[in-house]
Amino acid sequence: MSALDSTLFIYTAQFFDITALRFDITAVWLVVTELRFRITKLRPVITVLRPVITELSLDSTALRPVITALSMAVTGLLLVVTEPRLFSTTQQVNDAARHFAVTVLQLAGTCKEE
């Protein structure tokens, strides 16, 4: 293999590496765009859960309900993110967030049945 052939081989390999990297960057950009779209659907859920989390104290007697409530809230958020087709409208997202908020408050003992 001559020096010119090896140089062309190196440049060709670098071109394919750059092309593959460009496709990887495009794929990551598409994933980030999709996640950003799904996160905008989470804003109502976060808005409802923010005062709930503020209501809960982290003293030793409330620790177990807090952990249970937070795990339920995270499960609800993951459901909204991973299964957006289940929540086709903002009202459905708000209803789901309200349901999780009431459940969290009931577990913490700060809210009676709705």
What are phi and psi for residue 71, nearest 5 degrees? -65, -35
Q: How many domains does the chain have?
A: 1
Asked, for residue 113, whether it belongs to a domain, the answer is: no
Q: Taking each helix axis from N to C terminus, what angle separates 63-82 and 90-108, rounded to the nearest 10 degrees? A: 170
Asked, for residue 114, whether it belongs to a domain, the answer is: no
What would the two tokens of residue 13 be?
Answer: 């390999």
- Look up the domain containing 68 and give its range: 3-108
Contacts 24+ apart (CB under 8 A), 66-75: 66/108, 68/107, 69/103, 69/104, 69/107, 69/108, 70/104, 72/100, 72/103, 72/104, 72/107, 73/49, 73/100, 73/104
Asked, for residue 63, whether it belongs to a domain, the answer is: yes
> Percent of the chain beyond pLDDT 90?
0
* This model's pTM is above 0.85: no
Q: Locate tokens 């005062």: which residue?
A: 51
Asked, for residue 80, whether it belongs to a domain, the answer is: yes
37-72 per-position pLDDT tens digit: 666 666 776 666 666 665 555 545 555 666 666 666
Asked, for residue 12, whether it belongs to a domain, the answer is: yes
